[in-house]
């Protein structure tokens, strides 16, 4: 409604409602009744007195004879308001409400609004509770918890709960003895879809398995689409729900993806399946709900997703200037709508047009009113700065920056964002460098941000990281310096606050939702797994499998302040570009305080080793290294060694261990630096079966020819104990090429032993892209059968192409063939192929998520498996039949295969994961049935077994590699202090 025609009608309505007793027909443009005759003369009071007395008397008389007279004379009822004004008044009431704010739930809360009638009450006895109270420092031991009505009814002694009058509340209760087990609030996942609370998850919109028919994460119809809603694309059949619950996830914020500057509205869900089995029945405290046949606004928080930087730039061909303009233009529309609505509501009964509404921009007007939690995918300083400026320009608070890899470099900038408190920061622990925006990401970011007073949230970005292992993210940031309380807060209390649900979830409090997790060990211990997850008081895991953990796994990790101070200072001083090379290299070392020694005599370079001293459990053994070779291990005389005149570096491992060096495979470490930047890698190899040129037909790419050294992922892997990396050429073809093995610490490819094996194995991939699996196996059959020469070949060309020669070597067992595939049916076809035409061939499966289905046949035919990823996830159709591991199955995939006599190694998928190679082996050790692996056998999964499965074929006389760990390498908190690599002629690098 424009101003030039609105004033006069408003005046008319106002005059009709409030006629003036002094106005006349000449003074007003409002027609008056014809009988109306204004009186201008006033009588004096004495002249009216007799009449008034007579009137009072008459009324008294009438009251005595029970007559009723209405006085003053009846007026016509006011005309009803137009319906559009009545509807507008309702909207005015909504927009004029204060910002959502709720008092924390208390013991007076009788029932959860999501309570399911008939749910049995649960009495958890003798638990160790991490409550989230007192900043996350409160721990209650030997405490009972009563779950009733979908809420935490009582927390206290068994006597208190035994006296609770349950007969009025539904009768009997299920009693469960915890035996001191740890209990925490459930986790909250922000993907940007998840008590654990995941605040960044795409679960339900980026479904598992991912198919064209269920991929609803992003709309690419426009960069600004605030009107979209994740609820409308939420898939209730996502296989990830139960897996996430098995990791302790009880709430998730499901956001649209990050392709758009404004991707749409988000909604909080709980992942438990409901009787109704609909998306709306999984919502928790929604901002909108069906009420008496209408879609009604509640007074709960709304949520919206924004994204800046590279994603919109890549999808829409924008610059960052375009991106910022998108936001300003959109918020100008939102502010314009807000101002119109406020003007309308300032005088609703004078309006001649309906309440101003806009399907497209109403949510942004609500953002400016402070009713919407704004979550922003934003990495770099330049983008963070732009959004902070925009938040001040349009005066709206930011709930959280997500990904936010550079926030640790600019904490003061975040404090400038508009609103009463700065945004929270939702980050990964070690996932970085996959794009330019993430290149300066630091494992120390969480500690730096927390020390600056900012709230840190760990997120999954499910399925980028499987939200089931959100706890691992919290464990990693604790490993890198964040204290215990803040680490656990980062997946419970802090995301609950960021989502606006901390009045009912995120704490173990009386009256809060009965969302909690019972753990088999202290949650920040590596391999900690739920025994049971409760959502709304309902146990979610049917017949959970529990592996008893050792006593030490129940203990709270010791805080070691200042452990990473030097590294943190360097990360800040270099603005995210620290020197990752060794601080010092030596040839003579004495390791003191050694608790475990996992090298064989051959690996240690010693004929005999008396390792009995390592079995004492005292952690006080000694290992001596002279001129780069171990000369003594066990009960060695330090004094005698020091008297020899050599300059020894003395390293105290504090009960730690010495292990063989580790091997990484499965990513493009060694030929690629930043995945999304083509110029930082070798590029894609050609397809030897589809090229037309005579020169290129039948040739095979050699990854060694595109070797790259000095990258961050290589150096971080080396600092973490990886001494050998194996990589095949990057390609979209099904024949990748020859892989090579290299030393990740080397400066360039011409250094001594920088290239360990220039040609290890031929790598191929079997899927149905470009052509069918059956067509590719037909080609394999021809190549492996030895009948691939053309009949007309000349005598000079009898050996055929490089491709033909390679497969001839494979058929004879001289060259290993590594096949990337996951599907059991494809693996079964490969087994038949080997039996039929190439029984001597050495074949390795890389991936193998469904390989357990044919485990016996794999063992019978001597086909090994490199499991990648290590923690199985049904992300694709070919990986949907997984072994999920505890608490859903007794075995992990590696332990199941090993128990069926299959040779197993562990691999990765992305370059950043190389640094975590050891911890994947440690997770398998902690999560597998007792007795399947010794510690050394678990280490072989990333060492000795991979040498065989990748065809590394160590040359005689080659130096061994080892890693010296301070603390237990099978637990978070241990760290690498020195590495003896394979590329430095006997030097030992110290960190």
Q: Is the pLDDT of residue 483 over 80?
A: yes
pLDDT at 688: 78
Percentage helix, strand, coil, to 5, in the chain? 30, 20, 50
C-beta of residue 528 within 8 angstroms of C-beta of residue 557? no
pLDDT for 463: 85
CA max distance for the chain: 143
Q: Which two tokens stand for residue 966?
A: 């301070």
In whole angstroms, give the CA distance from residue 729 to residue 727. 7
CA distance 233 to 257: 12
Q: How confident is the prediction for the chain on average, in pLDDT?
A: 89
Token digits of residue 489: 């807060």
Q: What is the mean pLDDT of residues 815-836?
A: 98
Among 125-139, 357-371, 682-696, 757-771, the least confident range: 682-696
> What tokens appear for 753 in the block?
């032993």
Confidence check: pLDDT of 204 > 60: no
Alpha-carbon distance of 607 to 643, in angstroms, equals 25
Element (H, E) at 479: helix 470-479
- Average pLDDT score over residue span 707-716: 97
Task: Provide the pLDDT for residue 32.
Answer: 32
Q: Grade residue 57 by pLDDT with cuts at 50, 70 and 90.
A: low
pLDDT value for 345: 97
Closest CA to 912 of 664, 579, 566: 664
Q: In the prediction, which pLDDT does 687 show?
A: 82
Note if the bond before 102 is cis, omega within 30 degrees.
no
Encoded tokens for 172: 């009997």
Mean pLDDT, rounded, for 211-227 = 89
Q: What is the rounded distance in angstroms from the CA atom of residue 255 to the CA atom of residue 373?
A: 12
Residue 752 pairs in a beta bridge with none
Whole-prediction pTM value? 0.89
- pLDDT for res 799: 64
Q: Regarding predicted confidence, which is higher, 240 or 797?
A: 240
- Separation CA 460–CA 458 (nearest Å): 7
C-alpha 593/C-alpha 619 separation (Å) is: 5
Instruction: Provide the Cα torsion 755, 761, 766, 772; round to 10°.
Output: 110
506: left (phi over 0), alpha (psi -120 to 50) or beta: left
Burial 793-812 (b: 16+ CB within 10 A, else e): eeeeeeebbebbebbbebbe
The pLDDT of residue 26 is 35
Give the DSSP letter string of 768-833: SSSS-HHHHHHHHHHHHHT--S-TT--GGGTT--HHHHHHHHHHHTSSEEEEEE--HHHHHHHHHH
The C-alpha atoms of residue 201 and residue 204 are separated, in whole angstroms, by 9
Q: Is 757 helix (H, G, I), strand (E, B) or coil?
A: strand
Task: Report residue 858: phi and psi, to 5°.
Answer: -60, -45
- Token pair, residue 390, equals 């925009």
Contacts of residue 345, defined as CB under 8 A and 6 or more positions apart, other chains included, come to 88, 91, 92, 95, 96, 355
- Which class for 703: exposed (0-12), middle (13-18), buried (19 or more C-beta within 10 A)? buried
φ and ψ of 769, to 5 deg: -80, 145
Cβ 290 vs Cβ 296: under 8 Å: yes
Q: For residue 58, what pLDDT is reported?
A: 56
- Work out the average pLDDT over 932-936: 97
- Residue 20 pLDDT class (50, 70, 90 cuts): very low
Indicate the helix (H) or strand (E) that contains 638.
Answer: helix 638-643
Q: What angle do CA 747, 752, 756 make, to 5 degrees?
A: 95
pLDDT digits (tens, 9 = 90+) for 578-612: 999 999 999 999 999 999 999 998 888 887 777 77
Give the chain's domains with CATH numbers. Answer: 101-194+507-555 (2.30.40.10), 197-499 (3.20.20.140), 579-661+961-990 (2.30.40), 662-786+801-960 (3.20.20.140)
Q: What are the DSSP calls for 412-468, one per residue? A: HHHTTSSSSSPPEEEE-SS---SSGGGTT--TTHHHHHHHTT--EEE--TBTTS-GG
Structure confidence at residue 228 (pLDDT)? 96
Residues 6+ apart with CB under 8 A from 444: 408, 480, 481, 564, 567, 568, 571
* Residue of higher predicted confidence among 562 and 594: 594
Q: Give the contacts of 298 (CB within 8 A, at least 6 positions apart).
A: 285, 286, 287, 288, 289
Please indicate whether residue 663 or residue 196 has the higher confidence score (pLDDT): 663
Q: What is the mean pLDDT of residues 554-570?
A: 87
Question: Which of these, 290, 366, 279, lies nearest to 100 by C-alpha position?
Answer: 366
Q: Which of 122-131, 190-199, 307-316 is least confident?
A: 190-199
Q: How far is CA 478 from CA 458, 468, 489, 537, in A?
A: 11, 18, 11, 30
Query: Would you state the pLDDT for residue 559?
Result: 74
> What are residue 569's phi and psi, to 5 degrees?
-60, -40
Which H/E stretch holds residue 988?
strand 988-990
Smallest CA-to-CA distance from 621 within 643, 630, 629, 861 is with 630
Separation of CA 682 from chain center? 30
Nearest to 455 by CA among 411, 417, 418: 411
Is 691's pLDDT higher than 70?
A: no
Euclidean distance between CA atoms 886 and 545, whole angstroms: 6
CA distance 912 to 924: 19
Q: Which has the higher per-residue pLDDT, 45 or 412?
A: 412
Residue 782: Cβ-neighbour burial (10 angstroms; 0-12, 13-18, 19+): middle
In the structure, what pLDDT confidence band is assigned to residue 7 with cuts at 50, 70 and 90?
Answer: very low
Banded pLDDT at 60 (limits 50, 70, 90):
low
Q: What is the Cα–Cα distance from 220 to 259, expressed in whole angstroms?
A: 7
Q: What is the predicted pLDDT for the residue at 211?
A: 83
Place of tokens 């006597």: 159
């Amino acid at each position: 409604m424009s101003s030039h025609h609105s004033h006069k009608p408003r005046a008319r309505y106002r005059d009709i409602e409030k006629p003036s007793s002094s106005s006349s027909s000449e003074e007003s443009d409002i027609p008056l009744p014809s009988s109306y005759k204004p009186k201008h003369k006033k009588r004096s009071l004495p002249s009216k007195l007799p009449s008034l007395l007579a009137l009072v008397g008459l009324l008294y008389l009438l009251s005595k004879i029970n007559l009723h007279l209405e006085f003053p004379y009846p007026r016509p009822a006011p005309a009803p308001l137009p319906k559009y004004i009545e509807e507008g008044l309702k909207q005015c009431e909504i927009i004029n409400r204060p910002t959502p704010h709720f008092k924390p739930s208390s013991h007076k809360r009788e029932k959860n609004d999501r309570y399911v009638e008939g749910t049995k009450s649960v009495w958890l006895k003798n638990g160790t509770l991490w409550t989230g109270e007192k900043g996350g420092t409160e721990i209650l031991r030997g405490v009972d918890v009563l779950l009733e009505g979908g809420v935490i009814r009582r927390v206290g002694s068994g006597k208190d709960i035994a006296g609770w009058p349950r007969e009025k509340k539904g009768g009997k209760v299920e009693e469960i003895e915890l035996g001191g087990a740890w209990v925490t609030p459930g986790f909250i996942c922000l993907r940007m879809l998840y008590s654990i609370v995941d605040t960044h998850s795409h679960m339900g919109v980026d479904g598992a398995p991912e198919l064209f028919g269920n991929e609803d994460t992003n709309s690419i119809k426009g960069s600004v689409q605030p009107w979209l809603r994740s609820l409308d694309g939420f898939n209730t059949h996502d296989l990830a729900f139960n897996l996430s619950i098995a990791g302790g996830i009880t709430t998730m914020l499901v956001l649209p993806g990050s392709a758009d500057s404004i991707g749409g509205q988000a909604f909080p869900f709980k992942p438990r399946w409901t009787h109704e089995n609909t998306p709306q029945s999984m919502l928790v405290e929604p901002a909108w709900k069906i009420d008496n046949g209408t879609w009604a606004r509640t007074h709960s928080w709304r949520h919206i997703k924004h994204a800046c930087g590279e994603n919109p730039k890549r999808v829409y061909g924008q610059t960052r200037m375009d991106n910022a303009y998108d936001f300003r233009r959109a918020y100008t529309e939102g502010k314009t709508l807000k101002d119109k609505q406020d003007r309308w509501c300032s005088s609703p009964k004078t309006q001649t047009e309906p309440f101003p509404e806009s399907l497209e921009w109403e949510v942004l007007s609500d953002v400016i009113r402070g009713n919407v939690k704004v979550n922003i995918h934003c990495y770099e300083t330049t983008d963070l700065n732009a959004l902070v400026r925009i938040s001040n320009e349009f005066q709206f608070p930011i709930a959280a920056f997500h990904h936010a890899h550079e926030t640790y470099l600019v904490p003061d900038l975040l404090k400038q964002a508009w609103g009463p408190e700065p945004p929270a920061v939702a980050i990964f622990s070690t996932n970085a460098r996959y794009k330019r925006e993430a290149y300066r990401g630091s494992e120390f970011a969480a500690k730096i941000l927390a020390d600056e007073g900012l709230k840190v949230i760990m997120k999954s970005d499910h399925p980028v990281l499987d939200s089931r292992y959100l706890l691992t993210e919290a464990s990693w940031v604790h490993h890198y310096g964040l204290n215990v309380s803040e680490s656990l807060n980062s997946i419970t209390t802090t995301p609950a606050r960021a989502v606006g649900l901390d009045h009912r979830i995120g704490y173990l409090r009386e009256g809060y939702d009965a969302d909690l997790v019972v753990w088999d060990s202290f949650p920040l211990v590596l391999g900690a797994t739920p025994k049971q997850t409760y959502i709304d008081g309902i146990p979610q895991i049917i017949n959970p499998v529990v592996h008893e953990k050792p006593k030490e796994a129940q203990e709270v990790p010791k805080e070691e302040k200042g452990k990473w101070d030097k590294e943190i200072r360097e990360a800040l001083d270099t603005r995210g570009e620290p020197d990752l090379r060794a601080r010092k290299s030596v040839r003579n070392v004495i390791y003191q305080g050694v608790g475990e020694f996992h090298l064989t005599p051959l690996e240690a370079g010693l004929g005999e080793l008396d390792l009995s001293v390592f079995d004492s459990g005292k952690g006080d053994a000694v290992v001596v290294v002279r001129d780069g070779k171990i000369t003594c291990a066990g009960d060695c005389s330090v004094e005698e060694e020091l008297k020899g005149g050599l300059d020894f570096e003395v390293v105290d491992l504090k009960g730690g261990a010495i292990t063989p060096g580790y091997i990484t495979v499965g990513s493009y470490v060694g030929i690629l630096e930043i995945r999304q930047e083509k110029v930082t890698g070798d590029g894609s190899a050609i397809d030897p079966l589809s090229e037309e040129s005579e020169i290129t037909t039948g040739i095979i790419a050699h990854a060694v020819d595109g070797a790259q050294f000095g990258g961050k992922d290589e150096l971080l892997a080396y600092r973490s104990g990886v001494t050998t990396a194996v990589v095949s050429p990057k390609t979209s073809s099904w024949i990748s090429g020859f892989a090579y093995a290299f030393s990740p610490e080397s400066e360039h490819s011409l250094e001594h032993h920088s290239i360990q094996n220039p040609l290890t194995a031929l790598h191929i991939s079997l899927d149905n892209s470009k052509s069918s699996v059956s067509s590719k196996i037909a080609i394999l059959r021809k190549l492996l059968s030895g009948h691939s020469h053309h009949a007309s070949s000349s005598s000079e060309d009898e050996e055929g192409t490089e491709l033909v020669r390679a497969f001839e070597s494979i058929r004879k067992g001289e060259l290993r063939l590594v096949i990337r595939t996951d599907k059991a049916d494809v693996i079964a076809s490969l087994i038949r192929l080997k039996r039929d035409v190439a029984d001597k061939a050495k074949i390795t499966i890389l991936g193998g998520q469904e390989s357990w289905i044919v485990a016996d046949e794999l063992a019978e035919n001597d086909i090994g498996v490199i499991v990648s990823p290590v923690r199985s996830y049904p992300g694709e159709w070919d990986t949907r039949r997984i072994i999920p591991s505890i608490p859903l199955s007794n075995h992990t995939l590696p332990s199941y295969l090993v128990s069926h006599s299959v040779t197993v190694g562990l691999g990765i998928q992305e370059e950043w994961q190389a640094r975590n190679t050891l911890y994947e082996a440690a997770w398998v050790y902690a999560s597998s049935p007792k007795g399947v692996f010794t510690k050394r056998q678990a280490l072989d999964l990333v060492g000795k077994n991979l040498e065989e499965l990748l065809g590394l074929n160590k040359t005689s006389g080659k130096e061994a590699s080892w890693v010296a760990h301070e603390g237990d390498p099978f637990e978070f908190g241990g760290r690498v202090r020195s590495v003896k690599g394979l590329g430095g002629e006997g030097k030992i690098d110290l960190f």
